Structure 1
Amino acid sequence: SKRCGDVKFSMLDAFGIPHVIVLSDCYLSENSAMSENLLSVSQLNASGWNVRFDVGNPHFASEDSKILLPMSERADGLFLCPYVDNSVGLTGHACTISPCAAAAVHLKSTDLLSRLHLRFHANDARIKQSVKTLPSLAPLVSQLTNDSRESDSHKCHDCLDANSRQLPRTRRSETKALDERALWSCDMFDMGEDCRSVSGNRYVYIFVFHRSRYITIECSPKKSDFLRLFQRVCSRVGYCPRKLRLDNATEADDAFYAWCDANGIACDNSAPYSQWQNGVAESAVDVLNSHLRVFLLQSGLPPIFWGFALHYAVQVINHLPTRATGFIPILEHGLVDTADMFRAFGCRATVYVGKSRAIHGKWAPRGEPGIFVGTGITQDETIPIL
């Protein structure tokens, strides 16, 4: 092959408008007569255009005389076409093409780094390093000195569209909750039909008190129990919030909003596809799931015990200081800590059975082996659950 530099094609689009496509740093196949060249259609497409040849009769048409120059396909995507030596390679030939959405952007970006970006789709720093390191790209090193950008993080429109990411918020929320009733956040997540808990629950509703970051949860087998579970939380803590932040949850039906209106609760929904606006609850869900996975892995218990692990995770997290406030939620919420009852989830425990329940009376063991799966409250007293 022979390196010919830039190859220019004068093309007519589907509307008859002339365009010039430039393929940089091309190589031509050599034969004795130097009369033909293997053209890669994929290389034309990489320049920002969708090239369509007639099925069964691929050809170029001369722009001036309209003479058809037939081509025969040598391999998949490679066509044999006439070669014209006029110091810039192939030129003066036209075929019917249609521009893609970003064609204008690609054609306007004529500097070397922009053309190389269309091949590598990497940032300028990595492309420059490849050009300086790879022997096959050594002839381009001298041209890099003339190319300069304000930033090495250049991306084409295809890169931006294909790998778009949501930008992080530039500032944190300045909302301050004066008391525990001021603002709650709520979220729901589904454990799946194939992973119901021992009690048959599937849905988990999480409520976070903004001032203390205290977390409480309710589990349910049905998604439609949202109103009943919310009422139970309000009854358990002894009051309702003045504002409840949701994420446009479908489980919040008309009956739910009507009950909130009747009890002076303002519901604040986040915008569609903007779950970060309910970030306090979303963050709590992530933390709970992290502890849930650890507890199940540590204990070796089957996934059906996720309900016990989740309730225990809530109790543990409420006894840890939060990054948002730096304080321990259970103390800020006004409850007595029960950290002395904590044990390794899934550890071996002994259940006292007593003399009356023991077989063989006096000589029988007074305990049975069990597994610690958290703590619960009965008659205002915290006890372990085995």
Structure 2
Amino acid sequence: IASQNKATGIQLLTNKEPEDTKCEACEMGKSTRLPFQARDPEHRSKEPGRVLHTDLCGPMQVDSIQGSRYCMPIVDEYSRFVTMYFLTSKDQAADLLLECITMYENTLGYGVQTIQADNGGEFTSNYLRNKLKEKGIKLQTTVPYTPEQNGIAERMNRTVVDRARTLLTHAALPIKYWQFAIAAAVHVTNRLPTNANNRRSPYELWTGKLPDISHLRVFGCRAYAHVPDQKRRKFDPKAASCIFLGYAMEQKGYQLQDETTLKTIVSRDVSFDEALLPKKPAVAQDIIQSKGEDLHMPQTM
């Protein structure tokens, strides 16, 4: 202040302390976190399946219809392709991660090198450490209270939960359908171009093929599932009225909920009315239908 002639009555010291001298009181009273540097693209994995990032999200505010309380994305660093697992308890995380590693190794023909996770007990247990050590896989965990070091998985959790929340809101479905919504959000996310991939989709980088998105439908819309001959009599309806809940993970079909029995089914022979959301209030329904053309179309997978 005195050197800039902004005040009087201050005598300047002639012997200045070295610039790197620390004031202990200032350090104790003004300490802040060091900035995080942007990831260097040169350090990014050069092929799919080598480096995986994971994180546990939950517990959710209500259990899903399937009984799950948590979800765990496993994100491939190279492609950003996501494999999502749903858990009833944290104890399942280690075994599901090992299951995913084995699946990737069988699919790609080579081994995973590194797992990046947070410092949670489900990822730092001796059981998981020993299993990864047997496979020659390096486990990198974050410093406590530093989620930024696991940013890829943390960001993916936020992305898919935000999209799932939007799907539930648009379809006017209760929160207990969150597992269906997250699975559907992941299915779509894997097929969307992303800036992290220079506007290419995770699916393209993971498989080497462009994604076919002709099968995508409006989450929560009316669907009519064909009833096989073996399950109906002569004058029974040939289709069941259902709600579309996403895409089967282990089968080539659509996940639906029968509106009469409330049972969840998987079917490939489905006709959709995407302008009709059965759980949407009538007033909102009229607005939706007035904005679009007739979207009633059959689709098989």
Give the structure-1-normalised TM-score: 0.54
- 1:173 maps to 2:40: yes
- Identify if the C-alpha distance between structure 1 residues 368 and 335 changes in structure 2 by more than 3 Å, giving closer, same or farther: farther
8 Å contact from structure 1 (residues 341, 383) kept in 2: no
Match of 2:207 among 334, 343, 349: 334
Partner residue, 2:224: 350
- 1:307 maps to 2:174: no
Match of 1:372 among 244, 254, 258: 244
Aligned residues: 223
Task: Please show how residues 204-353 of structure 1 align to structure 2 within 5 Å.
Answer: 204-237=71-104, 238=106, 240-252=111-123, 253-326=125-198, 327-334=200-207, 337-353=211-227
- Identify if the C-alpha distance between structure 1 residues 170 and 263 changes in structure 2 by more than 3 Å, giving closer, same or farther: closer
Secondary structure in 1 matching 2:196: coil
Moved more, 171-180 or 300-309: 171-180
Q: Deviations over 1:355-378 (max 9, x none)?
A: 34234x1x3320010011111144
Structure with the higher strand share, 1 or 2: 1
Secondary structure in 1 matching 2:252: strand
Secondary structure in 2 matching 1:309: helix
- Identify if the C-alpha distance between structure 1 residues 171 and 357 changes in structure 2 by more than 3 Å, giving closer, same or farther: closer
Q: CA deviation at 1:168?
A: 5.3
Q: What fraction of aligned residue pairs are identical, expressed as a percent?
A: 25
Q: Deviations over 1:135-165 (max 9, x none)?
A: xxxxxxxxxxxxxxxxxxxxxx9xx96xx98
> Unaligned stretches of 5+ in structure 1?
1-110, 113-156
Letter in 2 for 1:255: Y
Higher relative contact order (CA 8 A, sep 6+): 2
Which is higher, the Rg of structure 1 or of structure 2?
1
Letter in 2 for 1:343: R
Letter in 2 for 1:344: V
Match of 1:382 among 233, 252, 264: 252
- Stretches (4+) displaced over 4 A: 164-168
Match of 2:59 among 173, 188, 191: 191
Q: Deviations over 1:163-221 (max 9, x none)?
A: x98675343334220212321111111133x5111111111111110100111111110
- Identify if the C-alpha distance between structure 1 residues 366 and 335 changes in structure 2 by more than 3 Å, giving closer, same or farther: farther
Letter in 1 for 2:96: L
Q: Distance between the aligned counterparts of 1:209 and 1:184, measured in 2? A: 5
Q: Distance between the aligned counterparts of 1:205 and 1:333, measured in 2? A: 19
Instruction: Give the RMSD, CA atoms, in angstroms.
Output: 2.3
